[in-house]
Structure 1
Amino acid sequence: MQKRWVEQVLLYPKKVEELCKSLGISRVLARLLTNREIQSYQDAEHFFCPELEHLHDPFLMKDMDKAVSRIEEALKKNEKILIYGDYDVDGTTAVALVYSFFREFYNKLDFYIPDRYSEGYGISTEGIDYAYEHGFSLIIALDCGIKSMDKVAYANSKQIDFIIADHHNPDDALPEAIAILDPKRADCIYPFKELSGAGIGFKLIQAFAQSNSIPKDKVYCYLDLVAVSIASDIVPIVGENRVLTYYGLQKFNSNPCVGLAALIELSGNKTGFTARDLVFQIGPRINAAGRIKHARDAVFLLISRSAEEAREFSEQIDVQNSERKDFDSRITEEALAMIDESEELRHRKTTVVYKEDWHKGVIGIVASRLTEKYYRPTVVLTRSNGMVSGSARSVLGYDLYEALNQCSELFEQFGGHKYAAGLSMLEENVGAFQSRFEEIVAANIPLQLLTPELLIHEVLNLEEIDGKFFRILKRFAPFGPQNETPLFLSKGVNLLGYADVVGKDHLKMRVVQGASAAFECIGFGLAEMHSLVSKGMPFDICYSIEENVWRDRRSIQLNIKGIKMAEYSTESVN
């Protein structure tokens, strides 16, 4: 699919020269820093050299004192505590770290994960009934609960207290819980607002440890779980999240908990995991438990005490992940065929597809794949528990939540954010929703948003890429939202020798620019560009810079994201 090449605007041009001088770096690197809100030597020091001491005092978070006090009271009175969390990666890692921390010195403890299919997202009546029937008087809810007004009220009627540790946007009214930890509360002064659910759980155990003179290493040992949650939940990797991910990756790569070590073994004992690797290799396996069977299996894996126990759970989850892939592949193929066979669907500005026997656990993944293929707001629907349930995904820059909000009279329930949402409706409303959603999106989406974008961070001459440049560039990691892997544009490069098509549809070649050294390039999925680069004419490339390791030999490689004829040519292709 053709992509729009968009060059990022330089936000703070006056700060570039100052950073060049104070840091002794090139203007390209200085511009990359300023566009990441790094404007001084001190900012750069915090960015390049994150320290755990840079983490904020957890007691700056509204209600943290109340939460810690209530837990201390529960421990003193030998109350039973239930750790409750959502069924996705963020929720299960949050439950695992909080449960594991308190398990070290308290045994009247259990955890609860709602069933994706019978209970749905968030606090459930079934979960509260479980707590009541088993004598739990305190529930710590992680990665959910901020909007559970009625459920918390129900728990209160049964003399069960709630501590809510959530990171989602609250409504104006809050549940009547003992404590509500959420930096996005309007009355919360906590300096960093973008923690993951497990990040909030981490701040809770950090505060408890601080209040009870527990050594910091008893808290920091769970940073590998926090890193997995931050990467998988796609929260911004800036500020406090950058510190947590930086040290979490160190822990993950050097001494992971036995559950994560078992997942690493399943992935082929790869080393040097990045945040992106956590997203694509670790997160899906943890998620598979809740999608196919029950997410408590993921928690059992993550709280395992022995390698043997972890291996047993990881093998179960690997089977579930294989099932998830099979469902994902079959449903995606069926959805693509449904669209290809319908001229009306092909020419819409939205994609809404429905089949009653699609597996609910993977429709979100399928929605993402269809969005990637057709690049338009997408909803995938299936039948579940007598209702039609759906997962929705958007394109960059378009507010999906607002569009769905304008269809809300057709829903029984919906929620989410700008780029992803979930919904349910009566089956008789499906047709009306397809028409209404298309009408709303078609009326207000700018046409350019229906073409995927390559955001180019800097124009770069290949001769500027040397060892020092690459060493500094690597220190921009860990990469993620708001600290994306830099994309560069080099103009008028030439093919050196021949280009090859490798694998299924990948392009491999060497390029030069003027008198620069030759650079190895790989373009995944860009085999269609073979004829263009082989014409013997200059072309422009958009790429990231990475390290290629082959048989212990390390070299700089350009990962090509887009190719087009040089600007002065009359031809232009991507």
Structure 2
Amino acid sequence: MEWEMAESNVGVEESFVKELDIPLFIAKMLLNRGISDIKEAADFINPQLGALHNPFLMKGMKRGVERIGRALHYGESICVFGDYDTDGISATALLVLTLQRLGARVKSYIPHRLKEGYGLKKESIKKLSDEGVNLIITVDCGITSLEEIGFAHSLGLGVIVTDHHQPFAILPSADVIINPMQIDCQYPFKELAGVGVVFKLCQALAGLKNEELLCQESHLDLVALGTIADLVPLKGENRILVKYGLKSFASTSKVGLRALGEVSGVDLGNINVTHIGYRFAPRINAGGRMGDAKKGFNLLLSKDFTEARIIASMLDEDNKTRQKIQREVFGEASSLASGVDLGTEGIIILSSRQWHRGVIGIVASRLSEKYNCPAIIISIEDGMGYASCRSVRGTDIMSVLSGGADLFSSYGGHEYAAGFTIKEEKIDELKKRIKQAISKLSHTKCSYPGLIVESELDPGEVSREVFENWMNVFSPFGKENPVPIFLSKNMTLIESPLIVKNRHLRLILEGKRRVVEAIGFGMGGLKEKLEKGDCIDIIFSPRFNNGRVGLDDRVGLDDRVNLVEVSGLDK
């Protein structure tokens, strides 16, 4: 596997070490995350809820609060209209709970993925109008619903859009738009998830009844859930919200989250980003992927633990079904992708009438990760194509799609993820245009991504306590704050290598000051190239077990590093 050392800036690193009293390897980690000034570094090391920006800095916030205030005063019926993914479901739950606390007449609407599709539709708007709704507040959707919002106005409904997706050049005629991605929005942090935008609205709404902690203490678990699930960068406000949100799981009053932890095998007292991303979010998403996202929403709002357990079990079964379907679709898509000349085309774009619409987003993500290039997967049903798009750093998928805007029935998204619907007969023309657009991006090519090594570090250079402390400081790890990878040179293999569970490599290595156990997952094939006494270089990452970091001289289950790569086999 290719790897390279991260770029260094000795002047910045030395100033961090001196001004912040931190180890050099930590200074390098800060620099590697795009942090170059002392205040930003200090804020990263010690994130505080008090450092969150004033919500009224976001364009539309003041008008949005005033409009909701009028709805509360006159007893209008409010509908929170959400999306069917975990971000949208969390955002819907957060706003409903907040409005209930404020005494609103509020209901929710989350569309059926397979029957209705994404976002506002005229049919759903008409239904809400017939039910007596006066004000629709969208969450995690709505910014591209120009025609639908015009239709809502024709029925006499008010509409507030809260969203985080990329707006088109022409904005919808909503009463209020709250979206930090608006070109003229001066809000300092642009990369909030949908639930993050709703959190800012809830912060602002707290002033209506002088409840400063209306959602900061009670509902940060929902904010962390949606933020992690939507794979937004874990920096700035997102880092603060997730850091404190994860802590709040231990004392959550939400029986739905407790039931989800039970069925997922997660201890809420030690929950982390991986638990949310790989256990909680897939189960909540599974309801929507298989059809009905209301299950996930009902779980988050449940007040009865017995009911919550039943819903969590249903979502667990949905997730098992989703996994089976996903394996089948991914297998077929991977086979087709292997026949694509990736070096020439620079993108994977595949379509089929056999692929379940509910899993194409995951399949697109997996292919994009596997080949390090954009991937578009289209499911064709009854003459319509439903697509999910995923991209990589350096390729704005929305810009790529814009060249086919006239072909779409609908589309929207942001730099790394998007979706669209298109008539089947237009798909071939779209593929042609997208490939032309990609070919003009000289930097775009499919290749296997190399590893970026944070710094050289012998495991013996720092004590277990110091290392654990700093890894906990840097957590939560996620997008744009990855689990660090280090290089350690001249490690001596003091025991013969072993194979663990048929495929994993186990090495006992001695560095300058101590002995470390290294586990190379899936690296058993290297055993034949290694023998006791070899001097090798290793690339490793910390080993986490229930919140603990393994890096020590005591060989034990909690005292390992993850072996990422072995160099120097020809020494």
User: What TM-score, normalized by structure 2, do the two folds share?
Assistant: 0.90
Work out the CA distance in 1 between the residues paired with 2:4 and 2:394.
Answer: 14
Amino acid in structure 1 at the alignment position of 2:566: I
- Judging changes above 3 Å, is the alpha-carbon distance between structure 1 residues 338 and 33 closer, same or farther for their aligned structure 2 residues? closer
Q: What is the CA RMSD across the aligned residues, in angstroms?
A: 2.8
User: 1:209 touches 1:219 (CA, 8 Å); kept in 2?
Assistant: no
Amino acid in structure 2 at the alignment position of 1:559: N
Judge which range, 238-247 or 523-532, deviates more.
523-532
User: 2:232 touches 2:479 (CA, 8 Å); kept in 1?
Assistant: yes
Work out the CA distance in 2 between the residues paired with 1:535 and 1:117.
Answer: 58
Alignment of 1:417-496 (within 5 A): 417-431=414-428, 433=430, 437=434, 441=438, 444=441, 446=443, 449-467=446-464, 468-496=466-494
CA shift for structure 1 position 266 = 0.7
Equivalent position to 1:380, from 365, 377, 401: 377
Work out the CA distance in 1 between the residues paired with 2:344 and 2:187.
Answer: 47
Matched, 1:187 2:179: no
Alignment of 1:67-78 (within 5 A): 67-78=64-75
CA shift for structure 1 position 412 = 4.3
Matched, 1:292 2:290: yes
Sequence identity percentage: 35
Judge which range, 21-30 or 68-77, deviates more.
21-30
CA shift for structure 1 position 110 = 0.6
Residue matched to 2:57: 60
Alignment of 1:222-261 (within 5 A): 222-255=219-252, 257-261=254-258
SS at match of 2:474: coil
Work out the CA distance in 2 between the residues paired with 1:403 and 1:217.
Answer: 41
Alignment of 1:72-221 (within 5 A): 72-106=69-103, 108-216=105-213, 218-221=215-218
CA shift for structure 1 position 331 = 1.6
User: 1:117 touches 1:384 (CA, 8 Å); kept in 2?
Assistant: no
User: 2:347 touches 2:446 (CA, 8 Å); kept in 1?
Assistant: no
Work out the CA distance in 1 between the residues paired with 2:340 and 2:168.
Answer: 42
Equivalent position to 1:301, from 291, 299, 302: 299
SS at match of 1:136: coil
- Judging changes above 3 Å, is the alpha-carbon distance between structure 1 residues 40 and 333 closer, same or farther for their aligned structure 2 residues? closer
User: What TM-score, normalized by structure 1, do the two folds share?
Assistant: 0.90
- Judging changes above 3 Å, is the alpha-carbon distance between structure 1 residues 365 and 475 closer, same or farther for their aligned structure 2 residues? same
Work out the CA distance in 2 between the residues paired with 1:343 and 1:115.
Answer: 34
Matched, 1:322 2:320: yes
User: 2:203 touches 2:212 (CA, 8 Å); kept in 1?
Assistant: no
User: 1:496 touches 1:511 (CA, 8 Å); kept in 2?
Assistant: yes
- Judging changes above 3 Å, is the alpha-carbon distance between structure 1 residues 437 and 77 closer, same or farther for their aligned structure 2 residues? closer
Matched, 1:528 2:525: yes
- Judging changes above 3 Å, is the alpha-carbon distance between structure 1 residues 443 and 21 closer, same or farther for their aligned structure 2 residues? closer
CA shift for structure 1 position 542 = 2.1
- Judging changes above 3 Å, is the alpha-carbon distance between structure 1 residues 392 and 564 closer, same or farther for their aligned structure 2 residues? farther
Amino acid in structure 2 at the alignment position of 1:166: D
- Judging changes above 3 Å, is the alpha-carbon distance between structure 1 residues 523 and 210 closer, same or farther for their aligned structure 2 residues? farther
Work out the CA distance in 2 between the residues paired with 1:565 and 1:557.
Answer: 21
- Judging changes above 3 Å, is the alpha-carbon distance between structure 1 residues 48 and 444 closer, same or farther for their aligned structure 2 residues? closer
Work out the CA distance in 2 between the residues paired with 1:34 and 1:416.
Answer: 30
- Judging changes above 3 Å, is the alpha-carbon distance between structure 1 residues 396 and 557 closer, same or farther for their aligned structure 2 residues? farther
User: 1:462 touches 1:512 (CA, 8 Å); kept in 2?
Assistant: no
Q: Deviations over 1:358-381 (max 9, x none)?
A: 111001212223334444433322
Equivalent position to 1:518, from 500, 515, 536: 515
User: 1:395 touches 1:450 (CA, 8 Å); kept in 2?
Assistant: no
Residue matched to 1:508: 506
Q: Which runs of 5+ in 1 are unaligned?
A: none
Work out the CA distance in 2 between the residues paired with 1:412 and 1:232.
Answer: 27
User: 2:202 touches 2:214 (CA, 8 Å); kept in 1?
Assistant: no
SS at match of 1:194: coil
Judge which range, 387-396 or 352-361, deviates more.
387-396
CA shift for structure 1 position 348 = 6.6
Work out the CA distance in 2 between the residues paired with 1:499 and 1:332.
Answer: 35
Judge which range, 14-23 or 258-267, deviates more.
14-23
CA shift for structure 1 position 148 = 1.6
Amino acid in structure 1 at the alignment position of 2:2: R
Q: Deviations over 1:66-86 (max 9, x none)?
A: 111111211111111101111
SS at match of 1:146: coil
User: 2:342 touches 2:446 (CA, 8 Å); kept in 1?
Assistant: no
User: 2:144 touches 2:412 (CA, 8 Å); kept in 1?
Assistant: no
Matched, 1:32 2:35: no
Q: Deviations over 1:28-82 (max 9, x none)?
A: 1122223435456544443232222111221222221211111121111111110
SS at match of 1:190: coil
Equivalent position to 1:543, from 540, 546, 564: 540
Residue matched to 1:560: 563
Alignment of 1:340-359 (within 5 A): 349-359=346-356
- Judging changes above 3 Å, is the alpha-carbon distance between structure 1 residues 432 and 145 closer, same or farther for their aligned structure 2 residues? closer
SS at match of 1:475: helix
SS at match of 2:107: strand
Q: Which runs of 5+ in 2 are unaligned?
A: 551-555
SS at match of 2:270: coil
Equivalent position to 1:22, from 10, 14, 19: 19
User: 1:520 touches 1:557 (CA, 8 Å); kept in 2?
Assistant: yes
- Judging changes above 3 Å, is the alpha-carbon distance between structure 1 residues 371 and 18 closer, same or farther for their aligned structure 2 residues? closer
SS at match of 1:479: coil
User: 1:548 touches 1:557 (CA, 8 Å); kept in 2?
Assistant: no
User: 2:493 touches 2:532 (CA, 8 Å); kept in 1?
Assistant: no
Judge which range, 310-319 or 44-53, deviates more.
44-53
Q: Which runs of 4+ in 1 moved over 6 A?
A: 343-348
User: 2:343 touches 2:446 (CA, 8 Å); kept in 1?
Assistant: no
Work out the CA distance in 1 between the residues paired with 2:537 and 2:409.
Answer: 50
Amino acid in structure 1 at the alignment position of 2:14: E
Amino acid in structure 1 at the alignment position of 2:387: G
Q: Deviations over 1:187-225 (max 9, x none)?
A: 222222111111111111111112321251554211000
Work out the CA distance in 2 between the residues paired with 1:38 and 1:239.
Answer: 11
Work out the CA distance in 1 between the residues paired with 2:205 and 2:257.
Answer: 25
Judge which range, 426-435 or 152-161, deviates more.
426-435
Judge which range, 409-418 or 129-138, deviates more.
409-418
SS at match of 2:119: coil
Amino acid in structure 1 at the alignment position of 2:521: F
CA shift for structure 1 position 393 = 2.8
CA shift for structure 1 position 98 = 0.8
- Judging changes above 3 Å, is the alpha-carbon distance between structure 1 residues 502 and 409 closer, same or farther for their aligned structure 2 residues? farther
- Judging changes above 3 Å, is the alpha-carbon distance between structure 1 residues 563 and 405 closer, same or farther for their aligned structure 2 residues? farther
- Judging changes above 3 Å, is the alpha-carbon distance between structure 1 residues 80 and 448 closer, same or farther for their aligned structure 2 residues? closer
CA shift for structure 1 position 417 = 3.5
Q: Deviations over 1:527-574 (max 9, x none)?
A: 333333448543332221134469x977442122223336xx48xxxx
